[in-house]
Amino acid sequence: MSARVLVVYRESAEVQPYARAMESVGAEPVLEEARSGLTIGSCRGLLLTGGGDVDPALYGEIASPETEPPDPERDAVEAALIDEALARDLPLLGICRGMQLLNVHLGGSLVQHLPTAGRHVRRTSDRSLPAHRVVIEPGSMLASIAHQGTWGVNSRHHQAVARLASGLKVCASDPEDGTVEAIELPARRYVLAVQWHPENQASNDPEQRNLFESFAAAL
């Protein structure tokens, strides 16, 4: 029987690539829209997907003009799911917004609008196309997955990690502007989050498929 993983989303039109990526590595995605009372339950892992900006009030800031309107329900639901995953030491994979919320919920903050946003907001008809490379930190869990020092990644974000939450470790960054591109939590068995969208790359990029294979293997 395939291991079940909870995949939380807000936009139904955007969730299928995540589901296909998990199915391709032998896991069973359980798709649930963010709603009050949602729990991981019998699922064996948590996948936090991309989406709108995290409410700046959660890290003590007033929204900048470029920041999207908040979604307090989603922020609260996913924060509770993070707590459940950490308490149960269940594998957690965060993607884009998922990475940002993980950092904020654990006490970090965000850059609300990157000075180099043009480098990171690369919207093309083919979402699998890499936009830039990231440098992977030697000795990190991500390095053990990648087996190489750099990855070519796509990019669709205008915000990024500013203050890193206590306990988290940066495991990849943009070599040109220093933007944090991946973080992990060494104190747990498998907590990894990336700023790019590997779900769009996994079908034709073995490197990004490795990311989902490692997550599925930990379930």
The catalytic site residues sit at 96, 197, 199
Rounded Cα distance, 160 and 80, in Å: 21
| Tokens standing for residue 184 | 């992990």
Alpha helices per DSSP H over the chain: 16-24, 72-88, 97-105, 117-120, 141-146, 206-218
The β-bridge relationship of strands 4-9 and 46-48 is: parallel
Angle at 80 between CA 41 and CA 4, to 5 degrees: 30
Rounded Cα distance, 23 and 67, in Å: 33
Asked if 140 contacts 87 with a C-beta cutoff of 8 angstroms, the reply is: no
Rounded Cα distance, 7 and 144, in Å: 24
Sheet holding 28-33, edge to edge: 28-33, 4-9, 46-48, 92-95, 191-194, 180-184, 169-173, 132-136, 150-153
Handedness of CA 164, 82, 50, 199 (dihedral sign): positive
Q: What's the distance, Cα to Cα, between the start and end of the chain in Å? A: 12
